[in-house]
Amino acid sequence: MKIVFLGTPSFVQPIKQELAKHFTLVDSLNEADLCVVAAYGRILTKKELNTPKYGCINVHPSLLPKYRGPSPIQQAILNGDKVTGITIIKMDEEVDHGPIIYQERLDLSDMDNFDILSKKMFQRAADILPNIIRNFISGKLKPHRQNHPKGSFCPRLTRDSGYFPIDNLPAGRQVPHFQKKLDKMIRAYYPWPGVWTRWQGKIVKFLPGGLLQMEGKKPISYKDFQNGYPDFPLRYSS
């Protein structure tokens, strides 16, 4: 079988590598029997979706219909979900809307950040995808309709998504609910767009591992940062 793979980030490349072990990879939809899509930065047209003999399937890192859209991993972390998953769908013209071929749940730990979780999820997808494709093509796996009324969408991230406001915090005060929100943001937005704020006209970055970085300075621990900048509004227990 000839497969064309469409996937942009480095963390989806294990899928391409695994497909190459089991199928013939081609460069064009016109040559392909099936198209496999994972974290691809462009919406395919109806003509493109219908070009391969068996259409196009998409590997989506959420339990669809929850978290349709471009940032499902980040959204799961931000919302404090304990379970996430992988969904493989037969693509249609709407975003993450097509019938479900296969779905698998994965635990999400408090130690998972976007970098860790994206690699974990797409490696798992790579491991199971060849058999899923065979069973889909043979008819053993029958796609079923998503529960569309329960669908939810997550936004496209920008640099401003990582902005953490501290303007209304009293100087030197430790606020537990702000700390929990900040923890989730750091995990969700590492390595991009990162978490940052503005203070005294400069950008301050919140980094993994309990580090803060003042604009133009090296990253230092929260304790050292608070000692050096005692008026910084947010007290944080790393």
Backbone angles phi, psi at 68, to 5 degrees: -70, 155
In Å, how far are 23, 25, 34, 68 from 155, measured between CA atoms?
Answer: 34, 32, 28, 9
Local confidence band at 179 (pLDDT 50, 70, 90 cut-offs): confident
Which is nearest to 174 in space by CA: 120, 106, 226?
226
Flag whether pLDDT at 17 surpasses 90: yes
**H helix intervals, the chain:** 13-22, 46-50, 72-78, 114-138, 176-188, 222-228
What is the predicted pLDDT for the residue at 56?
Answer: 99
Which is nearest to 228 in space by CA: 210, 214, 209, 208?
214
What is the average per-residue pLDDT within 37-48?
95
Mean pLDDT of the chain: 94
Within 10 Å of residue 86's Cβ, how many Cβ atoms?
21
Residue span(s) of the chain under CATH 3.40.50.170 come to 2-150
């944080």: which residue's tokens?
236
What is the predicted pLDDT for the residue at 232?
Answer: 86
In Å, how far are 91, 114, 129, 136, 141 from 16, measured between CA atoms?
Answer: 18, 20, 10, 18, 22
What is the predicted pLDDT for the residue at 204?
Answer: 97
pLDDT, tens only, 134-157:
999 999 999 999 999 999 999 999
Residue 209 in tokens: 């591992």
Question: Which option is the CATH number for 2-150: 1.10.8.10, 3.30.70.980, 2.60.110.10, 3.40.50.170?
Answer: 3.40.50.170
In angstroms, the CA 182 to CA 169 distance is 14
pLDDT, tens only, 211-221:
999 999 999 99
User: Is the alpha carbon torsion for 159, 160, 161, 163 positive or negative?
Assistant: positive
pLDDT, tens only, 161-173:
999 988 766 555 5
